[in-house]
Structure 1
Amino acid sequence: MDLLVNLYSRKLDDLGARVRDVPATIRVALPPEQHIIKDWVRTHFSQYWVSEVSAAMAHQPPGCLIATLDKQLVGFACWDATARGFFGPTGVSEDQRGKRIGLALFYHALIAMKAHGYAYAIIGSAGPVDFYANAVGAQPIPSDKEDIYQGLLRVAPKSEGES
């Protein structure tokens, strides 16, 4: 399900207040770090998300934010990766979840999108719908089970005996 976020909602200000004291540093990823970020995303999430990070990093400035703690990468968030106006993918390492780092990444990505002239953000194929609804009042976009990922090429699982 795709979700829509109003970037002029007061709920965005409320989210900013909620993440003000998150201990992680949130910043724009730098191009020389791209290989580190991609390796981390491949290890913790998926090769598909590595492709989206590549697209987000191709923008100037990059549409990829990172979260660091003690100079270690603990999360990332992209925007304008799969399509213009789309937020995501985003993820936080398992051992850092529940510390509002994901919320902080989400907030800073939405603020960056707003600064680039977007009035709304789309969260494509949103996984944790309640997370986004509770964070900023994200609303479902009505559809007939069709989205931008319809027909996406997938890697076929290897059959037994295949290497």
Structure 2
Amino acid sequence: MKDMLVRLIDLPDISDLEMNLGKDNIMFRKPIPPEKSFVMDWVKNHFGQYWMNEVDAAFSYLPVRCFIAQQENDILGFACFESTSKNFFGPTGTLDSMRGKGIGKVLLVKSLQSLREMGYAYAIIGGVGPVDFYKNTVNAVVIEGSESSIYNHLLRKKK
């Protein structure tokens, strides 16, 4: 998987989308430390150990470097930024049943806005799966030669 680069100065306006999702009681926010185990367990159950570990790293900062999408007491999605590497977006995920509603877009843009507020002009989206999503949502471009990344030599659980 390749990395992508996104210009943070030209992010799309998500205010209408966020307001419309709010009509369904979907809110977007940064979780706080008392919620850490709930968020980590949810991510592990839906997306695995590696992403849970990256969420753990996101909680080592205050404010937390992660957003969640929440509907009442349920997590619908999450997005981390600058948790695994400086200026990196990800990991991110939305429940299969909630995809296509714009939740992932709001999580992405809010995270990228946070990176912009930290002083970055560009951000790296690491180890991208859905290239077209990032290209269409925030005009991200593939970084040529980025197949070899920080994720290449991850330790694997022995069988």
TM-score, normalised by the number of residues in structure 2: 0.91
| 1:25 alignment counterpart | 27
Contact 1:22 1:104 in 2 (8 A): no
Structure 1 CA distance for aligned equivalents of residues 136 and 28 of structure 2: 21
Distance verdict in 2 for CA 1:61–1:154, change over 3 Å = same
1:47-126 → structure 2 map (5 Å cutoff): 47-126=49-128
Distance verdict in 2 for CA 1:144–1:95, change over 3 Å = closer
- Secondary structure of 1:13's partner? coil
| 1:2 alignment counterpart | 3
Structure 2 CA distance for aligned equivalents of residues 8 and 97 of structure 1: 26
| 1:161 alignment counterpart | none
Structure 2 CA distance for aligned equivalents of residues 4 and 148 of structure 1: 15
Query: Paired residues, what number?
Result: 154
**Deviation, structure 1 residue 95:** 1.4
**Deviation, structure 1 residue 19:** 2.6
**Deviation, structure 1 residue 13:** 2.8
Distance verdict in 2 for CA 1:144–1:67, change over 3 Å = closer
**Deviation, structure 1 residue 17:** 4.9
Structure 2 CA distance for aligned equivalents of residues 95 and 114 of structure 1: 30
Gaps of 5+ in 1: 159-163
| 2:154 alignment counterpart | 152
CA-atom RMSD in angstroms: 1.3
Structure 2 CA distance for aligned equivalents of residues 145 and 42 of structure 1: 25
| 2:41 alignment counterpart | 39
Aligned partner of 1:133 among 109, 132, 135: 135
Gaps of 5+ in 2: none
List structure 1 segments (4+ residues) > 3 angstroms apart after TM superposition.
Answer: none
